[in-house]
Every structure is written in C-alpha cells, then in structure tokens.
Structure 1
Amino acid sequence: MNDPTLKQIFIFLVVLLPFQLLAQIPYGNNPECGKYIQTKDAKIYYEIYGSGEPLLLIHGSLYGYINEFENIFPILTENHKVIAVALRGHGKSEIGDRDYSYALLAQDMIEVLDAENIDRIDIVGFSSGAITAVKLAADYPERVMKVVSIAGALSAKDRSAERQQQLEEMTADNFIENNKRFVASRKKLMPEPDRFVDFYNKLMKVDSDPVWISKNAASKIEAPVLVVGGDRDAYFQVEEFLEMYRIIPNSKLLILPGDDHVGASQKKEMYTDFALPFLDEN
C-alpha cells in the first residue's frame, strides 16, 4: 500500500470504525441482547452487556432510561456482566396496575436477578435508580454485595419549597405540552403508549412520598455503600448525601464539586477513579 491517500483511508477505518460501531449500539432498544421477565402485573425489560462479575445498573426516573448510560457502558463492561433494567413504565417495560413504590421497584429487580440465576450482586444506580438500589440493600441484604448510589436520597423531606411547588404545578398535561419531542420518542418505545398519563401520575405519587427509605431501615444496611452526589444538585442538597453517609453504617461519601444532578452520573472519572475501585476492593 504505497499510495499515501489509501494509507490514510485505511488508518481512518481501522482506528475510527470501532468507535462508530460502539456509538451505534441501540442501548435500551437492542433486540440482540434485550430480555423480558413477567412479574405479577407487568413485563419488565432489561439488557445484558459484557462478561465477568455481575453488576445491576438502574437508571433514573421519568426522563431516565437505559440509554442514559450509553457513554458509561464501555467502562462498566470491561470487567463486568452488566444487567441494565428498565424501570416499570420506562421505555420497553410495561406500566403495570399496582401503585408505584420503591419496594415495588426493588421487587422487580429481584425478579430479574432470579430469572438470571444471580444470587448476589453489586449495584450502580442513579437518582430513582440509586434509591431503588439502597432499598434493595435494606430489604434484601442477602442479595446485595455493594451499592454505588449516585444522586439519590432517603426521603424528599428536605426538598426546597420552590422545587415542591414546581412538582405540584407540573401536571401530566403540562409535562406533555412542555416536552412534546421527548414524550413522542418515549411513546415509540412504550408497549402501552396510550397510558403515558397514568404512568406519569404513578411516578409523581411515589416521588411525593415523604420517606422512601426509613432511617431505621438505612441504619441496618449491611452492604457497603458509596454515596455519590454533586454539590450543585437541584434535587438533593449536599446535606442529604451527608445524612445517608452518616446513617448507613458501612458507607463512604463522594461529593463531586461543580456537578449537578445528572452530571454526577455522567462523569467517567467518577467510575474509573472511585466507583469501580470501590466495587472491586475487598
């Protein structure tokens, strides 16, 4: 290959094509690795990537979905078999008929683990996924080894009056009107798109619960927990992350300067320098 132009094209293909293929993985809508389990009232969708020690990955609520970790999957799958679950009502998971609670979401996760014959597992969760992860550690101590809780809290009691008013004023109709493109794209994935309003109202109900995990339950958690939060989080204050750290016995605290609610889950260095070393340490 003496032609410099051909040589440049060859290098371009060899170096860049793997990254293009990586970017095209349809996380959250991947028929090659998507699975379902049937709970009492809903089919729950999940995808599996990588190999190695199992790791349960749980996304955030409403706007969140499996694909929110698309830039993080390559890091997590280097040494782990990642089970990424779609919370009920999100994306390809059905909504179900029961009222939402973190106990119910945790139960869904257990049914996925049972279907995959996984007895014990590490968990990484963001926002509602983080709350679900800590709830799993509290309710199913025999199933959880370690938890990385990113931008989650034990309760909504410290929510600012301004934020509480915003939530109360944001009805399903207002949300749909202000997020037309997002809702349209999400409905394309949903098996029950006509129930989006029902789904939204179920989420808002659980979000307004004053306590998600009691202090008493949190104080008895046996699994080591890494509590991660950004100091610019608009949903939870640093004091709430500090409270989790103080209450959960075997916990560590990581506050990310300059990061907001979503940013805390998207910083690759957080995973490579803190989360994965925490999961791997004896």
Structure 2
Amino acid sequence: MNKQIITGFAAAMMITAAISCQPRQKEPQKVPAETGETTVGQSAKPAESGYADVNGLKMYYEVYGEGKPIVLLHGSFMNIPLNWSQIIPLLADDRKVIVAEMQAHGRTKDIPREFSYEGMADDVSGLLKHLKIDSADILGYSMGGGIAFQFAVRHPEQLRRLVVLSGTYAHDGWWPEVEASYATFTPEMFKGTPIQKQYDSLGNDPARFPEFVKKVLSIDLKPYDWSEEVKKIQAPMLMAIGDADGVRYEHALELFRAKGGGKMGDINGLPESRLAILPGTTHIGMMLRTDWWIPMVKDFLDADLHAPPPTF
C-alpha cells in the first residue's frame, strides 16, 4: 500500500472516528427511511419538514425554531443527523434553522445531473424560494462551505451574511497532501462506517453506494478556483478554520485581507468580515468545537458591523 493510499485510508477512518465519538443525546435520534423526521435532542422536533421540488431534484429539508433564518449546509457524505444533530438545538433557540440534504445525500435522491458546487448552490436558492424566504444567513461546513461560497456568488440577493467552516474557494486551498489524498479514496474504505449505514437506512439502494462515493468525490478531483468571484462578495463573512485543519492558513488569510482584514482595528476600524483560527482543531474536529464557534457565529450574525471598535 503506497503512501497516498495510506493517507486516504487514514482520512476515511478519521471521518468514522469523529462521527462515532460525537456526544450522544439522552434520547436516540429517530431517522425513518423515507418521509419521517429527524428527532434532535429531547424536545427539538422540526416545525416543518418535507421535499422541495428544485431543479429536477426532490430536496429533503427540515425547519426548526423561529427568528432570523439560517441555512446549514453539510459536508461530503453527510446528512442532517450525521452533521447537524448536535448543532441544531444550539442555534434554534433564537433563530429559524433550515437544514437540507444535498443531491444524492440522505433522503435527497440522486438524479442524472453532474455533481457540482454550482448546481447545489442553485438548489439551496430554490429551497429558499420554496419556503418563501427572501434572504437568509448561510453556514456551510467543508463541502457545504464550497456550496456556500457559490451561493454567495450566484445568488447574492438571497444572502444576508455568510459563514464558512473549514471550506475552500479554490482546490489549492487545501494542504497539498490533503488535495492529493482525494484520488486515493475508494468506496471500500467506507464499508461498515456510519456513513454507509446511514446511506442504507434512508431508503437508498445499497448496491449504488460505490456510485455515490465516486460521485461525491468527483467535485474535488477536478481543479476549481473562484478566487476573483469570491473576493467580490459584498456580504459580510466569517471564515473559521482549525490550526490543524486541511485548509491552508494562507488561503483563509488571502480572503480575509481581500475583505478588509490585515489592519489594526484600533486605528483603521474593524472590517465587516471576520477570521477565526481555532487552536487544537482538526478538519473533522471543527464539528466538535461547538462551544467555541457557536458563540462566534451568533455574535457575528447579531453584531452591528458598522459600530466602532470598543475603547477604554
């Protein structure tokens, strides 16, 4: 087994380990295969759930809480219960939380369409129209971060503020060893993992799981670079990465500087956008640092970004 295959295998195992060690709710989640709802925590149940007809796709979604809307976009191979079950209650206490499953993920069945960040961003736009929501905050993690960037580029009129956790806007935003590892992933590496078990349990054909893995990987096996478009995004953004993430520090810093960062705020004032680098945090570990980034996200979404910096 060569070094690249070992790297890919290790990454797949990290996904499994991270999901398995998430803190458990006191009551088990309930994830029916077709039309049922996800029960999150002891009392949080979706106020609304169903399927939205968008761009030839029947997109499964759930809505929790009341207040300003925020859309959560999951990572590769994930779905609502795997990515967001621990997070929804932390955000739904004072805002409307919209979660959806992207093309081929969870209860959103695949269609004969290229798998792309652009297409999934258009699907999110269609979902907001289906829900009759004019604009919303968008939070994307990993693959969801790429979708969030494309949503901001393609549908700026529907965006209020943007939050990207451990996501990139160009393929070389990943550390070189991470980018190289994508080509080493195989469906066999996911055999017996929670990812495969969730895929099977949500009404998908188990025989098509290898096809699902290959399709999801396809978007990271070809170069992409949205640097110029992303730097022109007008909406305020919060970009957060871990100091042991798969995302290069320079990649995040380049965007932050383009959004007005890189200056002393006491002299020049605070930029509308923000950057956070969480210590002791890996790519997968970002989802386990909710006690850190949830308060950061809430503060960013609620802040008066035109207020002067604090003085003594």
TM-score range (shorter-chain normalised) is: 0.7 to 0.9
1:246 alignment partner, one of 242, 245, 257? 257
1:19-58 pair list within 5 angstroms: 20=26, 23-26=27-30, 30=37, 33-58=48-73
Aligned match for 1:262, one of 268, 278, 284: 284
- 1:175–1:41: structure 2 CA closer, same or farther, 3 Å change rule? farther
Is contact 1:89-1:190 (8 Å) kept? no
2:212 equivalent among 199, 220, 226: 199
Q: Secondary structure at the match of 2:148?
A: helix
TM-superposed CA distance for 1:52, in Å, is 1.1
Does residue 91 (structure 1) correspond to residue 106 (structure 2)? The answer is: yes
Which residue type is aligned with residue 26 of structure 1? Answer: K
- Determine the structure 2 residue equivalent to 1:185: 198
TM-superposed CA distance for 1:169, in Å, is: 2.3
Residue 230 of structure 2 aligns with which residue?
A: 218
> For residues 79 and 27 of structure 1, do their structure 2 counterparts lie closer, same or farther at Cα, with a shift above 3 Å needed?
farther
SS across alignment from 2:37: coil
User: Cα distance, 1:175 vs. partner?
Assistant: 2.8
8 Å contact 1:106–1:136 — kept in the other structure? yes
Question: In 2 relative to 1, CA 248–227 (structure 1 residues): closer, same or farther, beyond 3 Å?
Answer: same
Q: Does 1:156 align with 2:171?
A: yes
**CA–CA separation in structure 1 for the residues paired with 2:180 and 2:145:** 24
**CA–CA distance in structure 2, aligned partners of residues 82 and 211 of structure 1:** 30
The alpha carbon displacement at 1:160 in A equals 4.2
- Name the residue aligned to 1:9: none
Secondary structure of 2:129's match?
A: helix
2:199–2:209 CA contact under 8 A, matched in 1 = no
CA deviation profile, 1:25-83 (whole Å, cap 9, x unmatched): 53795166431012333211111111111111111111x22122222211100111111
> For structure 1, which segment, 271-280 or 141-150, has the greater mean C-alpha deviation from structure 2 after superposition?
271-280
TM-score by length of 1: 0.83
Bigger mean CA offset, 262-271 vs 40-49: 262-271
Query: Aligned AA for 1:261?
Result: H
CA distance in 1 between counterparts of 2:254 and 2:168 reads 9
Gaps of 5+ in 2: 1-24, 39-45, 261-271, 305-312
Match of 2:118 in 1: 103
Q: Which amino acid is 2:103 matched to?
A: R
**Amino acid of the structure 2 residue aligned with 1:240:** H
Q: Go from structure 1 to structure 2 and tell me whether the alpha carbon gap of 1:271 and 1:167 turns closer, same or farther (over 3 Å shift).
A: closer
C-alpha contact 2:175 2:248 (8 A) present in aligned 1: no
- Which residue does the alignment assign to 1:74? 89
CA distance in 1, matches of 2:208, 2:92: 34
Q: Please tell me whether the aligned partners of residues 231 and 237 of structure 1 are also in contact (alpha carbons under 8 angstroms).
A: no
CA–CA distance in 1 between the matches of 2:62 and 2:235?
Answer: 25
**Quick one: percent identity of the two aligned structures?**
29
Are 2:31 and 2:202, in contact at CA under 8 Å, matched by a contact in 1?
A: no
Q: Does 1:136 align with 2:140?
A: no
Residue in 1 that maps onto 2:22:
none
For 1:164-217, what per-residue CA distance to the aligned partner results, in whole angstroms no more than 9, with x for missing partners? Answer: 443212233x3344x4553133211144443322222221111123215x1110
In structure 2, which of residues 75, 79, 95 is the aligned counterpart of residue 65 of structure 1? 79
How big is the shift at 1:266?
2.8
User: What do the CA deviations read for 1:96-120 (whole angstroms, capped 9, x no partner)?
Assistant: 1111111101011011101100010
Match of 2:300, as an amino acid?
A: F
Deviating 4+ runs (over 6 angstroms): none
> Any conservation in 2 of the 1:93–1:190 contact (CA below 8 Å)?
no
**Preserved CA contact (<8 Å) 2:161 2:235:** yes
Q: Is 272-281 or 23-32 further displaced after alignment? A: 23-32
